[in-house]
Amino acid sequence: MDLKQKTIIITGASSGIGATLAQKAGQRGAKVVLAARTESKLDVLAKTMSDSGSKALAVVTDITDPSQCRDLVRQTVETFGGVDILILNAGVSMWAAFEEIEDVSFFKDLMDVNYMGAVYCVQSALPHLKKNRGLIAQMSTAQALMGFPHHAGYAASKHALQGFLTSLEIEMQESVRFLHIYLGWIRDTNLRRNAFSLQGQPMGEQKRSHNSESIGLEVCTDAILEAIAVGKRKIYLPAKLGFIPFLNAVYPSFLQRRVSKAVQTQT
């Protein structure tokens, strides 16, 4: 897919992967719709992109509100005439051992953002995506493929999204295309800073640091845009994540030990 003149909605576009993808897509000639909750960050990004010659529209959106998702799509269609690509990037994580959590109510927030927020966006954009034989790209994770220690609620929400999108992919019978992006740990994003802690609050400065196995933001976003351009259905970053489905089916105990060790090294 040539991104030139394609209209792309990116959720969670105010920082990190979303913001970087938006800028790079704009440089490739795409018309980019920036969706996130923080108006000030969206406005700065939209101005930066416009000043560099890109077409950008900022739409303040809380994806947990279905009416705001409908308005996001409405403004996109009114401004650019349609929707070609929906990138489901918005998300929130956690880092806490389940048995140590006293109040698990923040698990609902994980589901509202990571699962229902994506469902609302897809429902609103789907008619326009079908019209253009468009693409839905989900920013997924290794936690959507198996259980992860200290990420029980996050993994559950990503499993739910995985089930929803793979089911929808079958229903669409190629009238809409799908790209499943399975990410490991990515540096230079706010995902860990904003992740829920044991107390159900953002970790902030308590966030875990990344080790040498993490991937840089530039490498990550370049790989995603290349996957869109060549029409891939799945990508794994890093590539070794692609072994998870096989190992989980054949050597689950081995895989669980490796994952537990990997989580422990993220200090």
Cis, peptide link before residue 238, omega less than 30° from 0: yes
CB 88 within 8 A of CB 34: no
In the numeric block, the tokens 């295309």 are attached to 177
Q: pLDDT tens, 202-250?
A: 777 565 555 566 789 999 999 999 999 999 999 999 999 999 999 999 9
* pLDDT given for residue 208 in this prediction: 55
Task: Identify the three-state secondary structure at position 185.
Answer: coil
* pLDDT given for residue 194 in this prediction: 80
Residues noted as catalytic: 154
Domain map (residue ranges) of the chain:
7-264
Residue 187 has pLDDT above 80, yes or no: yes
Please state the rounded mean pLDDT for residues 164-176.
98
What is the bridge-based pairing of β-strands 55-60 and 85-88?
A: unpaired
Instruction: Output the six-digit token pair for 6.
Output: 């394609």
* pLDDT given for residue 140 in this prediction: 96
Task: Identify the three-state secondary structure at position 188.
Answer: coil
Q: pLDDT tens, 33-68?
A: 999 999 999 999 999 999 999 999 999 999 999 999
- Could you tell me the pTM of the whole model? 0.93
CA 81 to chain CA centroid, nearest Å: 24
Q: Is the CATH number 3.30.930.10 carried by domain 7-264?
A: no
Please state the rounded mean pLDDT for residues 93-105.
95
Give the H or E element holding residue 167.
helix 152-172
